[in-house]
Amino acid sequence: MRLENQNLNSNRLSTGGVMVTAAVVYFVTARLSLLLAIGNTNATSVWPPSGIALAVILLWGYRMGPAILLGAFFANVFALKGYGLAPAYYLTASFTTALGNMLECLIGAWCIRRFAETENPFNTLKELFVFIIFGSLLATMVSASIGAGSFCLATGQWPVASQMWITWWLGDAAGILIVFPIIMMLKNKIVQTIRGIQSIEAIIVFVILLISSGVIFGYNYQIEYVIIPPLLWIALRFGRFYSAAAVFLVSGIAVLFTISGAGPSADPAAQKSLLNLQTYIGVISVITLCLSVLTHNRRVAERDLKNYKEHLEEKIKERSAELVRANEQLVTYIQNQDRVKMALSESEKKYRDLVESANSVILRWKPDGSITFFNAYAQKFFGFTEPEIIGRNILGSIVPILESSGKDLSWLIEDIVSKPEVHAFNENENIRKNGEKVWISWTNKPIFDESGSITEILSVGNDITKRKKIEESLKRTLDDLAIAKERAESADRIKSAFLAAMSHELRTPLNSIIGFTGILLQSLTGPLNKEQEKQLGMVRGSARHLLDLINDILDISKIEAGQLQIISETFDLRKSIEKAVQIISPLSDKKNLSLHFKIEDNVSEMRGDQRRVEQILINLLSNAVKFTDKGEINLHCHFDNYSIILSVADTGIGIKPENLNIIFDAFRQVDTGIARAQEGTGLGLNITKKLLEMMGGSIHVESEFGKGSTFTVIFPIKEQ
Ligand code: ADP
């Protein structure tokens, strides 16, 4: 707040200071200007205070008006006092004159601001004319009118009024013309910088100006306008300020010489010399100022033009570069477009060739069924030419309404259009132009428009007539085969049933043969000689073998006829093992083979068919004894989490790897080179395997030829 006040104060102070200074300067200049008065009059050829006043108003504002008023008032008071007037008169006259001076500069300043729209009216001819006409010629009329009027009123010298008015007017105008430009240009720093050779030129021209002015005015040559060329020279070469200064200089010299009574403007009649001088000053100042402003304008225009040209060149360069870039882009774009077009037309051609040369039926049709495209292959295949088929409905032309099987196809077209996804692939009977029925496998693809509705359907079809025929004959064959199989199976069942019945019938007489030969051999019916004993032994052996064979065949037959029942009961496995070992021991003893068995503690009861489990065990143990000549047989049994594992290992003849697979087949005995066929039926392992499979178990063999074999059976543990 205080700071603002301080600023305000300092502003006021400085405004006040400027006002006081302006008033003092006006006063002093006015007093000095009176020294320029011609003879002992108060009339001066130029009135520089007017120029100063106008400059003060334009530079510091209208508020400087009172300062001018004050300065002028005191200057006038001093001047009028000498006329011997009463104070009231000369004070009033001084005040009104000062008022005129103030109004003159206020009006001039206002006009310049208003019409030239600047405070420094030396940039264009328009501004300059506004300054000359309004600021210098018109505004000064106000001051002249008020000043001359009040002077005449105060002094009563009305006869000189008109002359006085003109002198006053032109004096003020000349004062403004020569002083105001210098002040304004200095203040606005429009002083051209002069350097080097140009400063020598300037000195020369100013010297010429001074000398010629001195000569013209000092020696009273009537050639005062000779001064114009050097002034023009200055205006053309050194700019506005030096022009204004030159005018000021020449005017000063002219005034000085004229008031001292010399020079061409001097005239015995003071009034005339004033007028001459004022006209002279007016002309040279107006001409010089005009020319300097014109020159300035031309320079500015040249500079602008140069800048513009440079700018234009830059712009042209930029634009050219942009154009080149755009052109390059355009070329690239066009090339790309060409490439794209070429690629497109190539791919179109490829596509067309592909479609035309494809060994498939390719057609397009509208949702109403009408055909829009029919490729060459389709035409050849169906026997229709393009004009014959395009526009026709699929149904009734290439799709029969009824298939040979009687299947109705009339719904097919509608169904494909409404549910294209269901009919992406379909096979149906088709018809050629000649009525021949063909089968085609179709791929249907709907083509949608932008709104998502189907515009057409593309169907690609392959002839599957041959395949269909093969399929049909294959189906027929399969049907025949199924019937044949059924027949064979039933024959097999009859055979198995017959075998089962037959085996049963055979066992009864065989058992009596074995029984009665046993009685004979035990000599219960009387003593037998050695030969009889031998013969009867052979009978009993053959009968036993036959019984074994029949038993095995019976089992096989029952299994294959599906008549063998596996019962599920809980029994003590340990006891079964011991029982089997007991049965086989006499055989192993006979061959001097040691038979060991190890039953782990966790082995206890199992669920299954006890008789069949024992049959399997006996079979494995008897094989082991049968195919082992020396060494030992080891039976091992243990339970694990899910199964019962039982193995029989021997140190017998072993099995060659290539025979491992065949030993489980029925009637397969490995040829060991020894006549063993008598000792077995070749059915034991086959029956064992089948029984195990029926129980959900399995059998595996590991063997090393010449060293021994290990047969392992696995029974699943069944929950009770
Ligand atoms: P076979 O009545 O001949 O014993 P199997 O079906 O029981 O009929 O056995 C088929 C064949 O498997 C046998 O002829 C024999 O060649 C071979 N074989 C079975 N067990 C053994 C074994 N422990 N050691 C060596 N060969 C064996």
CA–CA dist 313, 293 (Å, integer): 29
Which of 43-52, 326-335, 381-390, 449-458 has the least mean pLDDT?
43-52
Read off the pLDDT of residues 666-684 as tens digits, 9 standing for 90 and up: 777 776 555 454 466 788 8
Å from CA of 680 to ligand 1 middle? 8
Residue 650 Cβ contacting ligand 1 at under 6 Å: yes
Contact 714, 707 (CB under 8 A): no
- Which ligand 1 atom lies nearest to the CA of residue 682? 8
Read off the pLDDT of residues 329-355 as tens digits, 9 standing for 90 and up: 999 999 898 888 988 888 888 877 777
Which of 254-258, 285-289, 593-597 has the least mean pLDDT?
254-258
Residue-wise DSSP of 580-649: HHHHHHHHHHHTT-EEEEEE-TT--EEEE-HHHHHHHHHHHHHHHHHT-SSSEEEEEEEE-SSEEEEEEE
State the pLDDT at residue 6.
44
Mutate to test the pocket of ligand 1, among 550, 617, 685 (most ligand atoms within 8 A of CB): 685
Å from CA of 622 to ligand 1 middle? 9
Which of 147-161, 203-217, 304-318 has the least mean pLDDT?
147-161
Å from CA of 626 to ligand 1 middle? 8
State the pLDDT at residue 693.
92
Six token digits for residue 374: 């029919």
Å from CA of 543 to ligand 1 middle? 21
| Average pLDDT taken over every residue of the chain | 86
Read off the pLDDT of residues 627-654 as tens digits, 9 standing for 90 and up: 999 999 999 999 887 899 999 999 999 9
Six token digits for residue 513: 């043969």
How many residues does the structure list for the chain? 720
- 3-state DSSP: the chain helix, strand, coil percent, rounded to 5? 65, 10, 25
CA–CA dist 720, 717 (Å, integer): 9
Residue 627 Cβ contacting ligand 1 at under 6 Å: yes
State the pLDDT at residue 256.
82
Task: State mean pLDDT over 671-700.
Answer: 78
Å from CA of 691 to ligand 1 middle? 17
Residue 429 Cβ contacting ligand 1 at under 6 Å: no
Residues 6+ apart with CB under 8 A from 163: 271
pLDDT at residue 321 is higher than 50? yes
Question: What percent of the chain stands above pLDDT 70?
Answer: 93
State the pLDDT at residue 4.
43
Å from CA of 619 to ligand 1 middle? 9
CA–CA dist 386, 373 (Å, integer): 8
Contact 264, 156 (CB under 8 A): no
CA–CA dist 462, 442 (Å, integer): 7
Contact 268, 38 (CB under 8 A): no
| pLDDT band at residue 40 using 50, 70 and 90 as cut-offs | low
State the pLDDT at residue 2.
42
Residue 655 Cβ contacting ligand 1 at under 6 Å: yes
Least Cα distance to 454 among 413, 497, 490, 418 occurs for 418
CA–CA dist 488, 614 (Å, integer): 34
Least Cα distance to 462 among 439, 445, 444 occurs for 439
More confident residue, 528 or 577: 577
